Amino acid sequence: MSALRAVGWLARADLLERLRRSSTLAVLAFVLLAAWLVHTGVLGIEVGGWRGVYDSAWVGMAMTLVVTTMLGLLGFYLVKDPITRDRRTGVGQILAATPMSNGAYLVGKWLSSTGVLLALLAVLAVAALAMQVAHGEASLQPGRLALPLVLVAGPALALVAAAAILFESIPWLRGGAGNVLWFFLFALGLWAGFEIGNGPAAGLDPFGAGIFIPSLRASVAAIDPAYDGDIVIGSGAYNPVLRTFSWPGIHWTAGLVASRVALVALAAGVALLPSFWFDRFDAPAAPARRRSARWASRREPFVRLADRLGIVGAELRMMLAGQPGWWLLVLVGLALAGLGRPEAIVGSWIWPLVAWSGLGCRAEREGTLPLLLSTPGGVWRPVLAAWGAGALLAAVAGAGYLVRSAGDPAALAAFAAGCALVPALALACGTWSGGPRLFEAVWLPVWYVGPLNRAPGLDIVRTRSPVVISAWLLAASVLLALAVAGRARARRTGRGA
């Protein structure tokens, strides 16, 4: 089998398998929701009190920015697992026995990951066409609408897929640490796109802000001398109060197109880079982590506490068992810091991310789910126990804040809602996706926008609104019901949800 044919065979087989996963459908539903919000004006672009006429150039640009931001972030978590999955299922060892080179294997995985993201992009392109027809503000020009999706979103998604391959090939970036790092690198990349402006490197902005924003500002400045350069991405796209202007779109020069092609070449290089150290699945199993007696003694109080809590304690003990001693020390430090600084609760509710992300999917990944489902109460009892353990971990992490807020009933209610919601979200995501990444992809941006940046309605830490607190408690109940339904589905189908 030639190298090219091997790459094609691997990419095709992997792509077809991954398109059938429930996690792919979940991400598709999320990005389609984002497209609907663009259509209704909840998400969009406002340029100093102006919005563009909904013609093909404007709709293509708006949908491209939705794809590169929403799908660029979530897509990483969606496709970051092909190597780990091959390692876990034994497929990797079979492939290692073939003449296929490391480079061919990694390129095949990159192509399949890119294919998954491009399939989602194709669905959104159809949604963009329907959006323009529904608004009826201008005649449809499919070519003008598709160009930004192909030339901006396509290379961006190829680079996201390559980053996922790179992270998965580096042991310490393979798990939760890499997922958290990607979130902040992604945010940094978006910020850099705004700062690039219309300089010579604008075409190399992966996510497209550096390409579109200078043109948008120049178009409005030409018709509004009072325009101060303000631009908002995220709201106001179809507000009838806003004035409208006709945006001419991007002039796709040869240099701009070449810069986008260069990004695809860069993505291929990033995907190939791990071939220099890839272990080809023949590395010996990692030895059990040797912990000193000092770490063991510091863990012992947690173990004794867990042993007294029955099945909830068993779940808590499993959550703590995979964490190193220094992780527990930081957890305790954050809890104590809340006594002096209430703001410490913000860090307390992101630090247990990796522990929470295992809820709902640990049994499936460890092969114990069939045994668990065969026990009395195997559908709902383990779900409630895991939720209780996750809520207890949230309470322990925020213990200092809890003590400090003892005299504030509204603060205690918000704290309780947060403790209920986060593990419920982790359970629902883990149960239906079968892995930890969906929860990490959802909770990281919620935490960033809400507790960290104090967005109203999402800042469950500081809110005192009974309506918001009730809404979060209701959301926790719905998510728990979804987790139970996922377990019921697993029992009915005889496999993990």
Q: Which residues of 441-478 are buried (b: 16+ CB within 10 A; e: fewer)?
A: bbbbbbbbebbbeeeeebbbbebeeeebbebbbebbee
Structure tokens given for 490: 């697993």
Residue 239 confidence (pLDDT) above 70: no
Do 360 and 298 form a contact (C-beta atoms < 8 A)?
no
Q: Which pLDDT does position 289 carry in this prediction?
A: 43
Which range, of 158-162, 314-318, 366-370, averages the lowest pLDDT?
366-370
Residue 186: partners with Cβ closer than 8 Å, 6 or more residues away: 72, 73, 76
Q: Which pLDDT does position 131 carry in this prediction?
A: 85
Spatial separation of the C-alpha atoms in residues 137 and 308, rounded to whole Å: 66
Other beta carbons less than 10 A from residue 139's beta carbon: 9
**What pLDDT digit, counting tens, does each position of 285-342 carry?**
444 444 444 444 444 554 454 444 767 877 888 888 767 777 888 888 888 888 877 7
Residue 234 confidence (pLDDT) above 80: no
**What pLDDT digit, counting tens, does each position of 51-87 carry?**
888 899 988 998 888 788 878 888 888 888 888 888 8
What are the sequence ranges of the domains in the chain? 3-276, 293-493
**What pLDDT digit, counting tens, does each position of 411-429 carry?**
889 899 999 999 999 999 8
* pLDDT bucket at 236, cuts 50 / 70 / 90: very low
* pLDDT bucket at 477, cuts 50 / 70 / 90: very high
Stretch 172-195: mean pLDDT, rounded? Answer: 80
3-state SS, 65-112, equals: HHHHHHHHHHHHHHHCCHHHHHHHHCHHHHHHCCCCCHHHHHHHHHHH
Residue 491 confidence (pLDDT) above 80: no
Q: Of 327, 378, 325, which is closest to residue 356 (Cα–Cα)?
A: 327
Structure tokens given for 423: 């593990």
Q: Which pLDDT does position 290 carry in this prediction?
A: 43
Q: Which pLDDT does position 245 carry in this prediction?
A: 87
**What pLDDT digit, counting tens, does each position of 110-155 carry?**
999 999 999 989 988 998 898 888 888 888 888 899 999 999 999 9
Do 47 and 220 form a contact (C-beta atoms < 8 A)?
yes
* pLDDT bucket at 235, cuts 50 / 70 / 90: low
Which range, of 280-284, 298-302, 405-409, 468-472, averages the lowest pLDDT?
298-302
Residues of the chain with pLDDT > 90, as a percent, come to 18
The H-or-E segment that residue 42 falls in is: none
Which range, of 85-89, 183-187, 398-402, 425-429, averages the lowest pLDDT?
85-89
